[in-house]
Each structure stands twice: as C-alpha cells, then as structure tokens.
Amino acid sequence: MSPMKMDKTNIAIIKHLRDGRKSFKQIADDLAVTENTVRSRVNQMIESGVMEISGLIDPEKIPEHNMVIVGIKLDTMDLVKKGEEFSKLCLSGKCEQSSFGNFARTADLLL
C-alpha cells in the first residue's frame, strides 16, 4: 500500500478533530467542504493507519481508578525489548493498561 497523500485539507481535518466533540458537519462548514468529504477523508486516514481516534480521560475523575507513573533504570538500553516484557506482564492480568516511553535523564523507561 502506498503512503496516503496528506494535503492541506487532511491536515486541517486533523487539527479540527483535536476537539473530539466537533462534528463532521461543523468541520465541513469551517473548511468549506461537504460533510461527506470530511467523513470520507477521516475514514481513509483511519484505514491507511495515518490516524487513530481515541478518547482522552482524566483518571482523577474516575472513581476507584488511579494513574501511576513508574520510572525504571535499566541495565540494557534495549528499550523495545524491555517494553515488550512489561507489556506481557500486563497481558497476564497484572496491570490493566500500560504505555511506555523513553524520557532521558531521570529514567530509561516510564511505565
């Protein structure tokens, strides 16, 4: 599959979607295109892997849930391998969800 062409309209749609409550109709009106154009382009971007739509939450507002950030110093800098190992722990039910990132200086890996 060839890479999707990202033109000014696609970029503008992505910028509008930062406000997750904005409808395709509102985006279309703002960009002077049809609602169908916005819907079609969003679907194309999702199908091509350019975009993924997800909701953001405020963990402090969800009862009985906590967010924890753990910094780990590693003996090896194979961050991908170590991230995969921690993911396996989560898949085994030891944690609900995890995200990994490299934040230099304070820790090698944040969970």
User: Over the stretch 69-100, which tens digit does the pLDDT of each residue have?
Assistant: 667 777 777 777 877 777 776 655 555 555 55
Structure tokens at 95: 């944690």
User: What token pair was written down for 13?
Assistant: 């749609």
Q: Are residues 88 and 63 in the same domain?
A: yes
User: For position 40, what pLDDT does the model report?
Assistant: 96
Confidence check: pLDDT of 25 > 90: yes
83: CB partners within 8 A, 6+ apart:
100, 109
Q: How far apart are CA 78 and CA 81, in angstroms?
A: 6
Structure tokens at 21: 């409550």
| Residues 65 and 43 placed together within one structural domain of the fold | no
Structural domain including 37 reads 8-47
Q: In the chain, which ranges are E strands? A: 71-72, 109-110
Q: Are residues 42 and 84 in the same domain?
A: no
Please report whether residue 33 resides in a domain.
yes
Residue 53 domain flag: no
- Residue 52 belongs to some domain of the structure: no
Q: Report yes or no on 13 lying in a domain.
A: yes
The percentage of residues in the chain with a pLDDT greater than 90, rounded to a whole number, is 25
- Give percent of the chain above pLDDT 70: 71
Instruction: Identify whether 3 is part of a domain.
Output: no
How is residue 110 written in tokens? 């944040």
Instruction: Clarify whether residues 75 and 106 are in a common domain.
Output: yes
Tell whether the model's pLDDT for residue 39 goes beyond 60.
Answer: yes
Judge whether 73 lies within some domain.
Answer: yes
Find the mean pLDDT for residues 103-111.
53
Give pLDDT, residue 94. Answer: 54
Q: Does one domain contain both 37 and 65?
A: no
What domain count does the chain have? 2
State the pLDDT confidence band at 105, using cuts at 50, 70 and 90: low
What residues contact 37, with CB distance under 8 A and at least 6 apart? 9, 28
Q: What is the pLDDT of residues 3-21, one digit of tens each?
A: 778 899 999 998 888 877 8
